[in-house]
Amino acid sequence: MPSLRETRESNNAELFRTETRKLMIPAADVACVNGHNSLEHALLILTQSGYTAIPVLDRSGAVKGVINSTLIIKAILGLSGYEVEKLSEKKVEEVMSVDVPKVKESQLFLRPFELSITWPFLCVEDDAGKFVGILTRRTILAQLYQYFRRHRDE
Ligand code: 4BW
């Protein structure tokens, strides 16, 4: 029978040995757009989903960036005000932020935890570089909460 200390160590290790794939929201449930979509389309998806920022994919299904409403509004602002026609003229890839945090689906918990200090969500990719989901700060905090609950009396 394992000692109390061994049991604790094994519980500790459990979270830190968890692969990102087990915690992520799968791609099918993630609101996202393609780089070649218009800003109008991206604004529609952002508005309908209610999310502040969403991933941008290319035609092969790889993550290329992140788009948010602020980037879109800035992109249509001209010298004499908002140029609404630019919403249909400009593409998401012209405007997106390419500074996007990515992790592999096999990545263990500690690195995503560290990245989540800075980023509200991380894009998860498979070994071929294809987008497979996102890992949110909410999920990471929920895991940590469970972890601290289990260990609070030790
Ligand atoms: O529609 C929502 N449903 C639920 N359950 N929670 C929501 C929703 N919209 C916002 N929230 C909450 C979450 O706690 O507000 C937080 C900030 O949302 P955000 O950033 O500014 O839109 C949410 O925190 P989170 O779950 O840790 O998600 C962090 C960020 O990840 C979100 C959004 O940019 C992205 N995201 C989350 N789920 C997504 C998604 N992007 C696309 N599709 C999804 N399904």
Instruction: State the residue for tokens 């601290």.
Output: 148
Our CA dihedral for 25, 28, 33, 35, rounded to 10 degrees, sits at 100
13: enclosing H helix or E strand: helix 4-16
**Residue type (1 letter), 112:** P
Nearest residue (by CA) to ligand 1, atom 33, is: 51
Q: Which residues line ligand 1 (CB under 6 A)?
A: 25, 29-31, 49-54, 120-121, 134, 136-138
The ligand 1 atom at the shortest distance from the C-alpha of residue 52 is: 22
pLDDT band at 8 (very low <50, low <70, confident <90, very high): low
Closest C-alpha residue for ligand 1 atom 32: 51
pLDDT digits (tens, 9 = 90+) for 54-112: 999 999 999 999 999 999 999 999 999 999 999 999 999 999 999 999 999 999 999 99
Residue 101 backbone dihedrals phi, psi, to 5 degrees:
-80, 130
Minimum-distance ligand 1 atom for the alpha carbon of 137: 27
Q: What is the spatial distance between Cα 95 and Cα 56, in angstroms, rounded to a whole number?
A: 11
Q: What is the pLDDT of residue 145?
A: 95
The reported pLDDT for the residue numbered 95 is 98
Residues 23-36 have pLDDT tens digits of 999 999 999 999 99
pLDDT tens-digit series, residues 99-123: 999 999 999 999 999 999 999 999 9
Specify the pLDDT at position 152.
83
Which amino acid, one-letter code, is at 1?
M
CA angle 50, 55, 59 (to 5 degrees): 130
Tell me which residue has its CA closest to atom 45 in ligand 1.
30
Quote the tokens at residue 24: 């992520």
Per-residue pLDDT tens digits for 10-27: 556 789 999 999 999 999
